[in-house]
Chains A and B, each alone.
Chain A
Amino acid sequence: MATFKVIGIAPSPYTQRVLVVLNEKGADYFLQEIDRMGNAQKKPEHLLLQPFGQIPVIQDGDFTLFESRAIVRYIADKYEGQGPSLYGKTLEERALVEQWLAVEVEEFDSPTGAAVFQLVFGPKYVGIPTDEAIVSSSLEKLAKVLDVYEAHLSKSKFLAGDFLSIADLVHLPLLFFLVTVGNRGEVVTSRKHVKAWYETMSSLPSWYKVLSLLSP
């Protein structure tokens, strides 16, 4: 019986980040879905675990941790000796993983998140229509960022080097929602190396396992 609990919901990109990394590591865990529509994340029981009222949260035995970006690093550290090394094997490799994790925060998350919210989550979960102006301006910003990724990935198989890492995987869920669910992936598919990188990641068995949790 797994003692590693993930509290979140299957369709949330930030929960999915954690799940795909757990799957890559072949770690045992179970997902406890919360009633997002019923606002469970703002209730006292949840706030005790996550004071900002967000998901995901993990409970590994009696150790609680929140923020998907912290959780994926914890998993990579804890399962260092198991599965692919998702955090690099040397001081410098790890630093490069951290560099691209920082780029995801600073450059990628905001425009991609805004576009995906407008295209998918707003209409589907909040009942607000897509604001195309926000989509366009977000994709314009993302295009400039992906130009840099394109140049980099033409010389590097993955972001931190020739090995898959958590720096790559943190991008996967939002890219999936943009390209495959939101159908606005030209900004990705028009860039040869970004496209190949996305296709490699989205073909991982560990990602299929995450998708299998989604209902149509």
Chain B
Amino acid sequence: MAAIKVIGVPTSTCTQRVLVVLIEKGAEYVIQPLDMMNGAHKKPEHLAIQPFGQIPVIVDGTFTLFESRGIVRYLADKYEGQGPSLYGKTLHEKALVEQWLAVEIAITAAVVQLVLGPKFRGIPTDEAIVYSSLEKLEKVLDVYEAHLAKSKFLAGDFLSIADLVQLPFLFLLVEVAKRGEVVTSRKHVHKWYETISSLPSWKKVLSLYAWVLLT
């Protein structure tokens, strides 16, 4: 099988989502970096394949796909017979993966406000927004805590894309924004986070951009 081309940058959380799933599945891929600093994502060549001017985009032979949430599901489907089953094995298991994938949206939004806005988009930290984002995040993580006390991973006893999509954002929160108490103060959330952040596939993703963490 030919390698999947990932157009993005290893420092981008959404690109990382795609990479960690590719690596878990043992799929061949190649990263085609995009010069975001110089606005490459807003130029016509990129807009032709991603009309919202975002990353990542994948090119699989003649098939192009964008939106990390769409891409990870495609990869889980395409590589169903290879690597760990990241999408469940039954109709019900898949539905539970989807249920927790839907919940991820709220966490990502809170982390974007808390971390990415200030750090990468030059939006100053508004204390009121920080407070309300943290509050929302804490409420969601309370539900996670109760759930993960009874379930090893989000969708059941198996690792799935529902767990993996959260990893880049939680990593940012804990390691970069240094707001890890929301995770570490919750026993089962903490254990779950330790498990997924110790995955060899995640370590591989981190190795692709370790140099950025030093800046």
A91-99, A127-135, A191-199 - interface stretch? A91-99
B74 contacts A by Cβ under 8 Å: yes
Instruction: Say yes or no: B99 contacts A70, CB within 8 Å.
Output: yes
Task: Give the residues in chain B near A78, CB-CB below 8 Å.
Answer: 91
Number of B residues contacting the other chain (C-beta, 8 Å)?
29
- Chain B nearest CB, measured from A103 CB (Å): 6
Given contacts A63-B92, A73-B95, contact A106 B67 (CB under 8 A): yes
Task: Give the residues in chain A near B143, CB-CB below 8 Å.
Answer: 51-52
Instruction: Say yes or no: A102 contacts B52, CB within 8 Å.
Output: no
B65 contacts A by Cβ under 8 Å: yes
A204 contacts B by Cβ under 8 Å: no
When the two chains form the complex, which single residue of B67, B78, B98 contacts A74, counting CB atoms closer than 8 Å? B98
Instruction: Say yes or no: A95 contacts B91, CB within 8 Å.
Output: no
- Chain A nearest CB, measured from B170 CB (Å): 18
Instruction: Say yes or no: B102 contacts A151, CB within 8 Å.
Output: no
Instruction: Say yes or no: B70 contacts A52, CB within 8 Å.
Output: no
A40 contacts B by Cβ under 8 Å: no
Q: Which residues 60-95 in A have Cβ within 8 Å of B in the complex?
A: 63, 65-70, 73-74, 77-78, 91-92, 94-95
A152 contacts B by Cβ under 8 Å: yes
When the two chains form the complex, which single residue of A65, A95, A151 contacts B96, counting CB atoms closer than 8 Å? A65
When the two chains form the complex, which single residue of B52, B69, B92 contacts A105, counting CB atoms closer than 8 Å? B69
- Cα A148 to Cα B49 with chains together (Å): 12
Instruction: Say yes or no: B66 contacts A99, CB within 8 Å.
Output: yes
Task: Give the residues in chain A near B69, CB-CB below 8 Å.
Answer: 98, 101-102, 105-106
Given contacts A67-B102, A67-B103, A74-B95, contact A51 B146 (CB under 8 A): yes
Q: Which residues 123-141 in B have Cβ within 8 Å of A in the complex?
A: 140
Instruction: Say yes or no: A148 contacts B74, CB within 8 Å.
Output: no
B187 contacts A by Cβ under 8 Å: no
When the two chains form the complex, which single residue of B67, B77, B98, B99 contacts A99, counting CB atoms closer than 8 Å? B67
- Cα A36 to Cα B102 with chains together (Å): 22
- 19 A–B contact pairs at CB < 8 A? A52-B140, A63-B92, A67-B102, A69-B102, A70-B95, A70-B98, A74-B91, A74-B98, A77-B91, A78-B91, A94-B77, A95-B70, A95-B74, A100-B70, A101-B70, A102-B68, A102-B69, A106-B67, A145-B52
A-B interface, 5 closest residue pairs, ranked by CB to CB distance from nearest? A102-B67, A67-B102, A70-B98, A99-B70, A102-B69
Given contact pairs A77-B91, A100-B70, A101-B70, enumerate 14 new A-B contacts (beta carbons under 8 Å): A67-B99, A69-B102, A70-B101, A91-B77, A95-B63, A95-B73, A96-B65, A98-B69, A99-B71, A102-B69, A103-B67, A106-B67, A148-B51, A148-B52
